[in-house]
Structure formats: C-alpha cells, structure tokens
Amino acid sequence: MKKFNSNGKLLITGEYLILDGALSLAAPCKLGQSLIFIPHQKQTLNWKSYDVNGKLWFESVFKADNLEIVETSDIDTVNWLKKILLFCFKNSNKNFCGTISCHLDFPNNWGLGSSSSLINNISQLYGLDPFEIHFATTNGSGYDIACANSKSALTYQLSDNKPVTKNIHWDPDFKNEISFIFLNKKQNSYLEIKRFQSLKKDLGLINEVSELTKKIIASTTLKEFEELIDIHEKIIGNLIGVEPVKKQLFSDYNGSIKSLGAWGGDFIMATKNNKNYFLNKGYHTVIPFNEIIKKSTLKIAS
C-alpha cells in the first residue's frame, strides 16, 4: 500500500494577473486530499473517489496496460482523469494494477484545490514533477500545485512561464480579525481563465499588483491591511469589468471584503470577523483564519 497527502489552497492576492506574471500570495490549507494505492493481481486500475462524508461520488475502471476506460460513473470526470493518467503513464513508463482511492477533507464544491491536490498526489505515485503534469493538462497558473506540497504560505510568480516560489512567514498579528466565507457556489476556473486571456495584457497593472502583494504581506495593522485589499479589489474589478463582491452582496458590511481566486464563487476573505452578519445573509460556511490556513512548520525569516 502507498499513501500520499496534499494540501488544499487559497489564493490571497494576484488573482487573474497571476497568469501574466504578477507576484501573488498563496496559502496552503489545513484541509486537503489523500490518495491510497493498493495493488491487486487483475490487469486493471480501479479508481474510487470519496467525498468529505466518505460517500463514493465517482468510480471508474481502466485497463492497466493502456488506460482504456472499461467502465465509469461519469464520462466528463473520467476523460479529465484519463488525460492526467496518460501523461503520467507515458512519462514514467509505470503502469499500476490495483485500486486507487481518493478522500477529500472538504466538500467537492468548495474550490479549495480538489484538482491540484489530486494532481500532486498522482505525481508522487508516478514519481513525476507535479508542475509538469499540471502545465501539460490544465490552463491554470500552478500556484495551487505549489501550495499542495508547501509547509508555509508562499509567494508565487510566473517568470518566462516557469513557476518561482518562495516560502514566507505570513501570520499577521490581526489574523483573528480575518475569516473566510464560502459563497455557496463553485466558480469554473477554467472558463474564467479563458475569459481573462482574451483581455489585453497590462504591464503597469502587473507591477502594481506585485507591489500590493508585498505590502499586504508586510502590513502590520488591520487598518493598513484593509486599505490595501480594498485597492486590490478595485484594480481587479476594473480589469475584468466586474463589481467587487462587497458592492454586489455586502454593501452594508463594516469591514473589508476581498474575492479570492476566480471572481463570482468559491471563497471570499473578510475582516472584522463578524460571523453573524454572514450567517444572517445565508452564508453558513464562515471559517476563521486559524482553522483553515495551515500554520507554517518551516523556520523562515519574516
């Protein structure tokens, strides 16, 4: 038996412009995904995926020698999975006869990295670089892959289309005033990326957001942090032509609110930690900073 674990992720700054090379802040989550491989004698690779409640939500059977699909419970999911497995098969010359079972620590629709944590786990099984798998099979920036293995928050930047990561100490003194709220729907990152790629590249905005990321990481007071994320929201809103989420849904909120990742779904970040406000609005997943952001286990300079 082999077992692998990978972190979920949250992108704190740089959404959209991360694809054009903006320096961004990302954080691994305490919640993630595990993968267990148990060999068997049959010439098949059996796949089973379980949700956070232990319920089987997807299963498929492949021929081990060529990954031909024998049977599946969902054709879209299996086609995506097969593309990843074929890349691994061709680049590692490994074929596995056995059962792979995957177990999520969070609901499928939360957008915390079910795909990236899966890719990272698969890369460990096949002994491959997870970034190579990622860039060969998806259109994302790869920051989520960096989070999957990370022991701390990190900065992420694409330079000449190659990932540059740096582990950092991001543990703000005011973290008890920060919470993360699920917007009750999952955004389609693939489609959002395609939409953004049709926009004109703006070097000035890329540099501006990179500087904002540095200032947000270095901010020492809640007031400074709020001012900086408000500026960030305005920049991205103007860039993609979408009203910031606070103006859309939470205009009477007494703190700052920032979208995370692709706008329009998944999680937002809010200051002032007013849980009852969001509960009364119908948003029942409100998670404090310390309960979702993985605490650094690295000894790194501030």
* CA–CA dist 160, 280 (Å, integer): 46
Are 283 and 247 contained in the same domain?
A: yes
**Banded pLDDT at 297 (limits 50, 70, 90):** confident
Domain extent at residue 267: 169-292
Domain count along the chain: 2
Within a domain: 59: yes
Q: Domain holding 103: CATH number?
A: 3.30.230.10
- Token digits of residue 1: 């038996």
pTM check: above 0.85: yes
Eight-class DSSP state of 293: B
Tell me the pLDDT tens digit for each residue of 236-271. 999 988 999 999 999 999 999 999 988 877 899 999
Contact predicate 167/152, CB 8 Å: yes
Given 117, 145, 165, the domain boundary residue is 165
Are 216 and 275 contained in the same domain?
A: yes
Q: Domain holding 242: CATH number?
A: 3.30.70.890
**Banded pLDDT at 201 (limits 50, 70, 90):** confident
Which pLDDT score, from 0 to 100, does residue 186 have?
73
Are 161 and 175 contained in the same domain?
A: no
Which pLDDT score, from 0 to 100, does residue 105 have?
97
Given 165, 196, 213, the domain boundary residue is 165
Given 150, 165, 180, the domain boundary residue is 165
Are 33 and 106 contained in the same domain?
A: yes
Are 99 and 184 contained in the same domain?
A: no
Torsion angle (degrees, nearest 10) of CA 73, 75, 79, 81: -30
Which pLDDT score, from 0 to 100, does residue 302 have?
44
Are 119 and 185 contained in the same domain?
A: no
Are 141 and 207 contained in the same domain?
A: no
pLDDT at 58 over 70: yes
Within a domain: 82: yes
